[in-house]
Amino acid sequence: MNKIKRVVFICLGNTARSPVAEYLARYYAKKNKIELNICSAGFINAFSYMQRESRQYLNLKNINYSDFQPQLITPALLEHQDLILTMEKSHSIDIITNYGHIENIRNKTFTLKEFNGESQDIDIIDPYYTSTETYRKVLQIIDNNVKKAVEKIQKHNISF
């Protein structure tokens, strides 16, 4: 894999998990002085806004998300990414299956946990319609994994 400059986080509706991952990755990249272009997208147009619990989590970390706009996955979006990080294995499979014509799609698509080296329990569940406590736990899992991923990207890019 070449130097990683562009990363997209993917979940089903781009309103709960992937937006949090996007803004946390921006936060950790800035904190670690890594230049990355980071965005997020979803398979469906669920809502026109980020979920309340996701906004609250980012607010607790004083992370500005005022420019957030949900977007759908497109071939052009995926083609321009160096790394595609999904929340669930089924998302990775759907991307590889439906966009298999994109060069290196198989080699640049992972679940967030897979990218961090995990091989068991690699899905991050959708917290929508769960309890506030479950939602918070899911966002903390995302936070921990995004931080690890940004650090891994930094180490990877240094080797180039």
pLDDT recorded at residue 91: 98
Query: How far is the C-alpha of 20 from the C-alpha of 39, rounded, in Å?
Result: 10
pTM of the full structure: 0.97
Residue pLDDT, tens place only, 72-117: 999 999 999 999 999 999 999 999 999 999 999 999 999 999 999 9
Grade residue 1 by pLDDT with cuts at 50, 70 and 90.
Answer: confident
Query: How far is the C-alpha of 111 from the C-alpha of 72, rounded, in Å?
Result: 18
Handedness of CA 37, 38, 43, 48 (dihedral sign): negative
Percent of the chain's residues with pLDDT above 90: 95
Query: How far is the C-alpha of 91 from the C-alpha of 97, rounded, in Å?
Result: 10
pLDDT recorded at residue 160: 80
- Confirm if 17 and 25 have CB atoms less than 8 A apart: no
> Nearest Cα to 9, choosing from 146, 152, 127?
146
pLDDT recorded at residue 126: 96
Structural domains in the chain? 6-155 (3.40.50.2300)
pLDDT recorded at residue 46: 84
Residue pLDDT, tens place only, 111-143: 999 999 999 999 999 999 899 999 999 999 999
- Confirm if 121 and 145 have CB atoms less than 8 A apart: no
Handedness of CA 150, 33, 70, 104 (dihedral sign): negative
